[in-house]
Amino acid sequence: MSKKHEQHSSQPVPVVADGMTLGVVGVGVMGQTLIRGLLSNRVVERERLWAGDKNSATCESASKELEIPVESDFQSRVPTADLILICVKPADAPMVLATLRNAGLRRETLLISILAGVATDRIESLLGTENPVVRAMPNTPAVVNEGMTVVCRGTYAAKSDLERASHIFEAVGKCLSIDEVHFNAITALSGSGPAYQFLIMEALADAGVRVGLPRQLALTLVAQTALGAARMVLATGRHPAALRDDVTTPAGCTIAGLLMLEDGKVRSVLARAVEEAAKVSAHLGVSPAKMSETAAGQRAGH
């Protein structure tokens, strides 16, 4: 029987089965953030959590900070894992997946990848096994439990695997399950999104300094205003244009400022930024051989 999208029971499935472990490979920014979320929200007990990283100095400091085993020689733990989160850079995916396979990865172990631009079918083909794979695109506000993560499942993953993954990312913010076809767009919008917001906030804080405010005060005003505006959009469900109209007094200062933003083409600049990021995202997980085929094709006019 084909295992493709096989359904399991409707009972909630534990994130990690009894007696088994959860591993995190790559303890950089995202890996550490997710581990902290898992621990503080008691998604998994500390004793059942382990991590691996390439660099032994990173392992030592992360292990001290997180109070879990973090080792460069993590292979012996792989067969005990019911779930492994892959949090390395996209270019390191082939090496890490080969390491997991050669370390005795069980066929049932769920692999959750947060690698930007690396599709589930690429992970499956690099792995060469029929393990369930879930792809996730989180973002850095997960550090303050306000992350936005989107998940989708690969060929051998069941709905229950998506639920297990959602449980993990809900520990650090919101999580939605969306078709993989949208992942490059999502990577460009919410994955890269915090960086756009930081740049906009930095520019507005500069603007505050330009009109005479001390920098720290300007930054506080800008950041709290961004937080409040975001909360209003989410809490009211109203269109941002309607919320904007509410604060735009006839002949007032807000409409004067808004018109300057429109003159500066702020809408199309933001749309082009996301469009460009989505194009780059589509190439992040492509193997070097395929990249050169694409480049050759482009040179040949395809």
Ligand X SMILES: NC(=O)c1ccc[n+]([C@@H]2O[C@H](COP(=O)([O-])OP(=O)(O)OC[C@H]3O[C@@H](n4cnc5c(N)ncnc54)[C@H](OP(=O)(O)O)[C@@H]3O)[C@@H](O)[C@H]2O)c1
Provide, rounded to whole angstroms, the least separation between the CB of residue 81 and ligand X. Answer: 14
Q: Which of 4, 12, 17, 55 binds ligand X (CB under 6 A)?
A: 55
Q: Could you tell me if residue 5 is left (phi over 0), alpha (psi between -120 and 50 degrees) or otherwise beta?
A: left
Minimal distance in Å, beta carbon 68 to ligand X? 15
In whole angstroms, give the CA distance from residue 31 to residue 198: 22
Which residue number, 131 or 281, has a Cβ lying nearer to ligand X?
Answer: 281
Alpha carbon distances (Å) from 274 to 111, 179, 193, 195, 262: 28, 19, 9, 11, 18
Nearer to ligand X, 25 or 278 (CB): 25
Question: What number of other Cβ atoms are within 10 A of residue 221's Cβ?
Answer: 14
Q: Looking at 34, 44, 78, 88, which residue binds ligand X (CB under 6 A)?
A: 88
Task: Spell out the residues 6+ positions from residue 121 whose beta carbon is closer than 8 angstroms to its own.
Answer: 154, 155
Q: Is the distance from CB of 41 to CB of 68 less than 8 angstroms?
A: no
**53 counts as binding ligand X under rule CB under 6 A:** yes
Tokens at residue 287, please? Answer: 């193997």
Decide whether 143 or 258 has the Cβ nearer to ligand X: 143
Q: What are phi and psi of 139, to 5 degrees?
A: -140, 170
- In 3D, which of 34, 282, 62, 24 has the Cα closest to residue 147? 34
Closest contact distance (angstroms) between CB of 117 and ligand X is 7
**Could you say whether residue 90 binds ligand X (CB under 6 A)?**
yes
Q: Would you give the binding string for ligand X spanning residues 238-267, x where CB under 6 A is met? A: ------------------------------
Specify the residue, 150 or 218, whose C-beta has the smaller distance to ligand X. Answer: 150
Backbone φ/ψ region at 212: left (φ over 0), alpha (ψ -120 to 50), beta: left
Among residues 92, 130, 146, 180, the one that binds ligand X under rule CB under 6 A = 92
| Under rule CB under 6 A, residue 116 binds ligand X | yes
How near is the Cβ of 102 to ligand X at its closest, in Å?
12
What is the 3-state secondary structure of 47-87? HHEEEECCCHHHHHHHHHHHCCCEECCCHHHHHHEEEEEEC
141 part of the interface to ligand X, by CB under 6 A: no
| Count of residues that bind ligand X according to CB under 6 A | 27
Nearest distance, CB of residue 107 and ligand X, angstroms: 22
Using rule CB under 6 A, residue 100 touches ligand X: no
In the bound complex, what is the minimum distance in angstroms from residue 170's beta carbon to ligand X?
16
CB of 249 to ligand X, least distance (A): 38
Instruction: Give the C-alpha separation, 255 to 274, whole Å.
Output: 26
Q: What track of x and - describes contact with ligand X for positions 9 through 48 (by CB under 6 A)? A: ----------------xxxxxxx-----------------
173: contact with ligand X by CB under 6 A: no
DSSP-based three-state secondary structure for 229:
helix
- State how far the Cα of 278 lies from the Cα of 295, in Å rounded to an integer: 18
Contact residues: ligand X, CB under 6 A:
25-31, 52-55, 58, 87-90, 92, 95-96, 114-116, 137-140, 191
